[in-house]
Amino acid sequence: MVQIRKELEGDLLSIETLLDLAFGTNRKSKTSYRYRSGIEAVDELSHVAETADGELVGTIRYWPIEVSGHGAALLLGPLAIHPDYHGRGIGRALVFSTLAQAEAFGHELVFLVGDPDYYRRFGFAVAPRHILMPDEAPERLQYRILGEGMLPAMPATLMRARCLRDEMGPLSLPLPLSMERAGNAGRQSA
């Protein structure tokens, strides 16, 4: 029996070990890690799968990112399941449950880099070419709209959330678009 629960601080070592196993120890050289280094994962969406005897066999995390000229979004990943537990629906459960939570928290746009054949089942589609993640293969960049979100119509680049914070100071943590709208009614978008 495997249960899904929120990630705790004590899980960190097991998660790192699982990610090294799934993606290799050089995983941090991947483009997507540029969006993660020095930035905290979205705490409420970080979940793990754990066996009845306490073995951590799955992890999913999301990072806040910025879409130029558009606003905040999420970057899903990494997602990893221990090889001994593949094909039991754990990945599916982690993705579906956290996407539902992301939507409930007001997030409206999720990107990821991965295999479209896997992520199609969760409603992801390959991003149109006018949405760019620099140095990443465009056919692996995928998106999913949540709630009333939408993709930018104009050319846009995925940026580290930190870019906005670096420019605007520590209080400008990116909010989900719906929260920004609620808190800034009447403000013109840039």
Q: Which residues bind ligand COA (CB under 6 A)?
A: 22, 79-81, 86-92, 114-115, 117-118
Q: CB-wise, 90 or 109, nearer to ligand COA?
A: 90
Tokens describing residue 115: 């295999």
> Which residue of the chain is nearest ligand COA when measured via CB?
91
Q: What is the largest CA-CA distance in the chain?
A: 53
Q: Which is nearer to ligand COA, 69 or 89 (CB)?
A: 89
Of 18 and 164, the one with the shorter C-beta distance to ligand COA is: 18
CB of 89 to ligand COA, least distance (A): 4
What is the smallest separation between the CB atom of 32 and ligand COA, expressed in angstroms? 10
**What is the smallest separation between the CB atom of 14 and ligand COA, expressed in angstroms?**
14
Please return the burial class of 79, using the count of CB atoms within 10 Å of its CB with bins 0-12, 13-18 and 19+: buried
Least distance to ligand COA, CB of residue 46, Å? 15
Comparing CA positions, the residue from 95, 156, 86, 83 lying closest to residue 120 is 95
Q: Which is nearer to ligand COA, 42 or 90 (CB)?
A: 90
CA-to-CA distance for 109 and 106, rounded, in angstroms?
A: 10
- % helix / strand / coil in the chain, to the nearest 5? 35, 25, 35
Give the residue with the Cβ less far from ligand COA, 93 or 164.
93
CB 59 within 8 A of CB 66: no
CA–CA distance, 76 with 84 (Å, rounded to integer): 23
Whole-number minimum distance, CB 72 to ligand COA, in Å?
Answer: 22
